[in-house]
Amino acid sequence: MKSPLQVICTDGIIGSHPHPRTYGSFPRVLGKYVRELNIMRLEEAVRKMTMEPARRLRLWDRGLIREGMSADLILFDPKTIIDKNSYLEPKVYPEGIKAVWVLGNLKFKDF
């Protein structure tokens, strides 16, 4: 996870009983590996989740906050974000996510 070449993603598929990382991959990285274990800085984790995967996949309108981009955004609390699900209960939503925008449209808010 410390390698600058590594990216963070999930291949989880939503279904009747998905893998827990479908709902919790990114909150797990931010809560456990960034905040709790200090394996990488928050800024590096966000880059590995956003800009770098978009660049590798040549999704030029994603991965950065800039005028003209798609505006897929997550507002989260770095002090509380964490995954809460398990193999037995994979559909439990994470804690610490305050809002989600997709293409600039607010899709979820918890404030």
Give the model confidence (pLDDT) of 34-65 as tens digits.
999 999 999 999 999 999 999 999 999 999 99
Buried b (16+ CB within 10 A) or exposed e, 66-95: eeebbebebebeeeebbbbbeeeebeeebe
- Give the pLDDT score at 23: 87
pLDDT higher than 80, residue 88: yes
Can you tell me the mean pLDDT for 80-89?
A: 95
DSSP string, the chain: ---TT---------SSS--THHHHHHHHIIIIIIIIT-SS-HHHHHHHHTHHHHHHTT-TTSSS--TTS---EEEE-TTT-B----SSSTTPPPBSEEEEEETTEEEEE--
- Give the pLDDT score at 15: 84
Can you tell me the mean pLDDT for 104-108?
A: 96
Q: 6-33: per-residue pLDDT in tens?
A: 999 887 788 888 988 888 999 999 999 9
pTM: predicted TM-score of the whole model, two decimal places: 0.89
